[in-house]
Structure 1
Amino acid sequence: MSRSRKSFPPELLEQLRLMPVRVALDVLGLYWKRDPDFVPMKDKSTVRLHVALGAGVVELLATGSKWYDSRAEKGGGGAIDLAMHLLKLDFVAAVKLCTNNKKISGFSG
């Protein structure tokens, strides 16, 4: 007998994948600060963000929904990847965390 699997609506997953990094950090409830001294070398819209995580700080380069953790040398895009990376969550837990926060309803992509 097979179990029926629940899945997340594709529209929700797309919304989370397109979410800008700064919005995603707010949705995840993480404290972050933009580095005002950072000068991007390639894309002028890239910003450097310092994210408080436990007793440490993670440095992210962010361009829209794309992010890169310069110290861990890993990157991704959108809120799901970011939650999985920063908070060490699996996919389902990351989606649930992102959607449990009421701030997501104000983001439309």
Structure 2
Amino acid sequence: MPADDALSLLSMVLKHDRTFVPVKDAQTRRWHVSTVRGEFEILATGIKWYDTRAQRGGGGAIDLAMHLLGLSFVDAVKHLIAREGAHGADPS
């Protein structure tokens, strides 16, 4: 799952920064994200993500859920499955 899509499942408020100009990859987007754990500024390119404030990155929706929400691996998987189902997406 692309990080952009995962962010929509993990955030309370999600805002795309349209003023951002990518340096390395033209596909990179900057997002301002609000979750139950606070505010984040996330750069997303495909499945990869980078938290500019924490200076930490990773790849994949599970890793992103663990980072943004402070969840264990198992709880991150459960959270994503529940949110994906609530948004009417096909979990397969």
Range class of TM-score, shorter chain: 0.7 to 0.9
* 1:26 paired residue number: 8
Query: Please, which of 19, 31, 38 is the counterpart of residue 20 of structure 2?
Result: 38
Q: Share of identical aligned residues, percent?
A: 53
* 1:3 paired residue number: none
Matched, 1:77 2:66: no
Matched, 1:67 2:64: no
Listed one character per residue, the Cα deviations across residues 12-34 of structure 1 (whole Å, up to 9, x for unaligned) are xxxxxxx1112112222532111
Runs (4 or more) in structure 1 with deviation over 4 Å come to: none
Q: Distance in 2 between matches of 1:104 and 1:75?
A: 28
Residue 4 of structure 2 aligns with an amino acid whose one-letter code is R
Q: Which runs of 5+ in 1 are unaligned?
A: 1-18
Q: Which structure dedicates a bigger proportion of its chain to strand?
A: 2
Residue 75 of structure 2 aligns with an amino acid whose one-letter code is A
Residue 43 of structure 1 aligns with an amino acid whose one-letter code is D
* 1:105 paired residue number: 89
Larger Cα-atom Rg = 1
* 2:69 paired residue number: 87
Q: Distance in 2 between matches of 1:55 and 1:27?
A: 15
SS across alignment from 1:26: helix
SS across alignment from 2:89: helix
Number of equivalences: 90
Residue 81 of structure 1 aligns with an amino acid whose one-letter code is D
